[in-house]
A = this chain, B = another copy of it.
Amino acid sequence: MTDHELAEFEETLAARAFDVEKLLQSLLDERLRTGEIARPPRLLAAMRHGVLNGGKRLRPFLVAEAAALFGHEGHEARLVAAALECVHSYSLVHDDLPAMDDDDLRRGQPTVHKAFDEATAILAGDGLLTFAFDLIAGDPAYESGPDTLSPTQRLDLIRGLAVAAGFGGMVGGQALDLEAERVKPDERGIITLQAMKTGALIRFACEAGAIVAGASVADRERLAEFGSAIGLAFQLADDLLDLTADAAAMGKATGKDAEAGKATLPALHGMEWTRRQLAGLVAQAHELLEPYGERAETLKRAASFVAERRR
């Protein structure tokens, strides 16, 4: 991607991010829904702080684009996309806690436990995770217009999210990451760790779009594979950025991994190898989208962006 193409894609992403944030803002306001007893204002504020923090919103973007690939442009994809962002955000809120990575800043802003307190950050994360399942289960209060998702589609989404985010996916990856501080994993260990910690949810974001759009099982699997490729690329690019970018561009501390002697693939194989790997993953991702022709143009650009982004 040229600098111009990167900037252009970032603009597209930012416009979509704005849309997701508006939706999350309205979902996490003070209005009570059926069955709720009260919405404690401070907890809700902490949840909004954790989720409305100017992230790239890559996962919601992937959900919406994968759904659009199969002709779905409805409200349902937006709600599922918002749910995935809640899960991603909760994982960051918990990951930043003193007992975990102990980060004070996230995208240039104080982390939730810094802006509020540790207990509130734990609960805000718990609340965001729980809310994600609520969103996908579907509630008439969230819907505008007719519901095009069948109960079976919703259950597929819930099961897929729970597996991707759970102990066999994202949470398990975090646990392996903790252990990696004590015993350095080998190459295979690093790959497993990253496939779980960041890969599983990105993979599922792409698959989720296909599920929302009612795509065939073969198309669902193809999109999931696409998601795996860009998930791996995302992590490699992240590791590379940690080595090369400056803290101001990233809005968080950099060079932490190298300083901590953290086992990453770039640390193991060097930058040149990493750049070649990234190019290979982008090529693979593009190839997986070949059957969809021009309609897949935005998703292809997303794959390139993930690998070539500078922050």
Contact = CB atoms under 8 A, between A and B. Distances in A.
Interface of A: 32-40, 42-44, 47, 90, 94, 97, 99-100, 117-120, 122-123, 125-127, 129-131, 133-134, 137-139, 150-152, 154-155, 158-169, 171-176, 178-179, 192, 195-196, 200
B162 A196 contact: no
B123 A175 contact: yes
B123 A174 contact: yes
A288 to B, nearest CB: 19
B37 A196 contact: yes
Nearest to A191: B37
A168 B137 contact: no
Contact of A158 (B137, B196, B200): B137
B42 A131 contact: no
Contact of A168 (B35, B42, B168, B176): B35
A137 B156 CA distance: 8
Contacts of A119: 97, 99-100, 178
A12 to B, nearest CB: 30
B131 A167 contact: yes
23 contacts: A35-B160, A35-B169, A36-B172, A37-B195, A38-B196, A39-B167, A40-B175, A42-B175, A43-B172, A47-B167, A90-B126, A94-B122, A97-B119, A99-B119, A123-B171, A123-B178, A126-B129, A127-B167, A131-B162, A133-B158, A133-B162, A154-B155, A155-B155
A114 to B, nearest CB: 13
Contacts of A165: 130
Copies in the complex: 2
Q: By DSSP majority rule, is chain A's interface helix, strand, loop, or mixed? A: helix
Nearest to A37: B196
Nearest to A117: B99
A50 to B, nearest CB: 12
Nearest to A192: B38
Shortest 4 CB-CB contacts between residues of A and residues of B: A36-B168, A151-B151, A134-B162, A99-B118
Contact of A166 (B94, B131, B151): B131
Contacts of A154: 151, 155
Nearest to A129: B129
Tell which of A44, A163, A175 has the most Cβ of chain B within 10 Å. A175
A159 B132 CA distance: 10
B40 A172 contact: yes
A130 B131 CA distance: 11
Contacts of A32: 168
Contact of A137 (B131, B162, B164, B174): B162
A47 B42 CA distance: 29
